[in-house]
Structure 1
Amino acid sequence: MGSRILIVDDEPLLVKGLKYSLEQDNYDIDIAYDGKEAFEKGKTGQYDLIILDLMLPVIDGLEVCQKIREISQVPIIMLTAKGEDINKILGLEYGADDYMTKPFNILELKARIKAILRRVNNKDTRIGDQIIQVDDFKINTLGRKVSIRNKEINLTAKEFDLLLLLTTNPGKVFTREELLEVIWGYEYFGDLRTVDVHIRRLREKIEENSSQAEYILTKWGVGYYFRNKS
């Protein structure tokens, strides 16, 4: 079988359809129907990706996402039946890698899954066990660990990829569209605000004052870039 995916949703028909469709692409599918079961399964670290519904019984999807993110960097795609932007943004703030609003196109979901897994599976195959030192940052590309002035920083997979891309291209301004395509792996499906949320979260972790950034700067009207101070 291929990559192992955990589907978490309390709608049996939706779960049945998703399971069948993804198994046709050779994914190994497991299922959880409530938040408690999802967390118990998710914390085992046996999955390559989790598809997580926002509205769940026992423990809601946001709390599950937060709990899993405290112990694992497994990619998470959040599903929500609500159209309000705040729920999508909240999902990203709690550590989700991506989100989709129900009803969704299964082909679009598959495209996002493939993009995420391709990025995760291909990470570091070109660079090997390499330590990159940039200003105050020490980046271990194999262990995917980052420290600032010898203090380790806990980053999500997307945050790490953003930091690695920006620090290895100092001074280069990336548009949100470029970052979405390079980091998320798809060009047309994404919401540009996804990039803004991840940049904001990354700044909160690496900057002394995220409102007055020293490392990741904004080129207004264009995009983001890393300023090499040395």
Structure 2
Amino acid sequence: MTRVLVVEDDPQLVRALVINLQARHYGVDAAPDGATGLRLAAARAPDVILLDLGLPDMDGVDAIRSLRRWSTVPILVLSARQASGEKVAALEAGADDYVTKPFSMNELLARLRAAVRRAANDPSLPEPEVIETDEFSINLSAKRVVRQGQDVRLTPTEWHLLEILVSNPGRLVTRKHLLEEVWGFSQTGKTNYLRVYMAQLRRKLEADPSHPRYLITEPGMGYRFEG
């Protein structure tokens, strides 16, 4: 049974989460504050954590940092904070995903399942060298992209950007991380670099670049590859 730890101080939301999770055969523990959540995380070894940022005894980002000192458990943030800076801080502290309140229960459960699936992959196994989609295939070792039977010519920068995204399937990669990895800087004023190169990748890979299926923008935060 997959175990979920809910760290949230809103009793009504906790009750709704517990009911919905238990109805889908998850085991659920709940903590009303950060200190209790950290203790339960150590004692109960959950498979995934749902964590509010606005905890009564500590900031949720600090709780994430504490967890990441010893655990790789997937952490999904639940928060009413909508500023992009808050989201980026949580993701860079080690959160795996960020869901803004109010949220659809179906969306939350889908993201929870995706986080559990990613964590279930054995990290000792080699990463797949070839990534297949309905539109194109990417051979990471050969640095080759094929679409509809034809090689797609990518610039070194386009390839580096694509390689980072496809190596983190389903995970949000922040703008700051991409700027640091690809260009070596993180100034927010340089986000136009990302927009330009993502637009170029979409023109080369997506069937409808204006409505991308694979290279997804998370407004104010970063990008995600959905295989």
Same-fold call, TM cutoff 0.5: yes
Deviation readout 1:86-138 (Å, 9 max, x if unpaired) = 111111011100000000000000000111111222x13xxxxxxxxxxxxxx
Determine the structure 1 residue equivalent to 2:63.
64
Q: Does 1:183 align with 2:169?
A: yes
* Structure 2: tracts of 5 or more residues without a match: 132-137, 145-158, 187-193, 202-214, 216-227
Task: State how far apart, in whole Å, the 1-side matches of 2:175 and 2:54 are.
Answer: 24
Alignment of 1:1-230 (within 5 A): 2-44=1-43, 46-121=45-120, 123-124=121-122, 141-142=123-124, 168-169=140-141, 171=143, 173=159, 179=165, 183-184=169-170, 194-199=173-178, 203=181, 210-211=184-185, 221-222=197-198
User: What is the TM-score with the length of structure 1 in the denominator?
Assistant: 0.62
Aligned to 1:58, what secondary structure does the other structure show? Answer: coil
* Aligned 8 A contact 1:92 1:197 in 2: no
Give 1:198 deviation, angstroms.
5.0
**SS of residue paired to 1:142:** coil
Q: Distance in 1 between matches of 2:51 and 2:91?
A: 12
SS at match of 2:54: coil
SS of the counterpart of 1:221?
Answer: helix
Is the CA contact 2:88–2:174 (under 8 Å) kept in the aligned structure 1? Answer: no
Per the alignment, do residues 45 and 199 of structure 1 end up closer, same or farther by CA in structure 2, a change over 3 Å counting? farther
Whole-angstrom distance in 2 between the partners of 1:75 and 1:200 = 24
Over the residues paired in the alignment, what is the CA RMSD in angstroms? Answer: 3.7
User: Which one has a bigger Cα radius of gyration?
Assistant: 2
- Give the residue type in structure 2 aligned to 1:58: D
Distance 1:219-1:106 versus aligned 2 partners, 3 A rule: closer
Q: Secondary structure at the match of 1:59?
A: coil
Q: 1:170 to 1:34 in 2, by over 3 A?
A: farther
Give the secondary-structure state (helix, strand or coil) at the position aligned to 1:87: helix
Give CA-to-partner distance per residue, 1:50-87, whole Å, 9 cap, x none: 00000001122110000001111100001111221111
Once the two structures are aligned, what percentage of the paired residues are identical?
31
The size of the alignment, in residue pairs, is: 171
- Name the TM-score, length of structure 2 as normaliser: 0.63
Q: CA offsets, 1:12-59, max 9 Å, x none?
A: 000000010011111100000001111112234611000000000112
Structure 1 alignment gaps of length 5 or more: 125-140, 145-160, 186-191, 213-217, 225-230
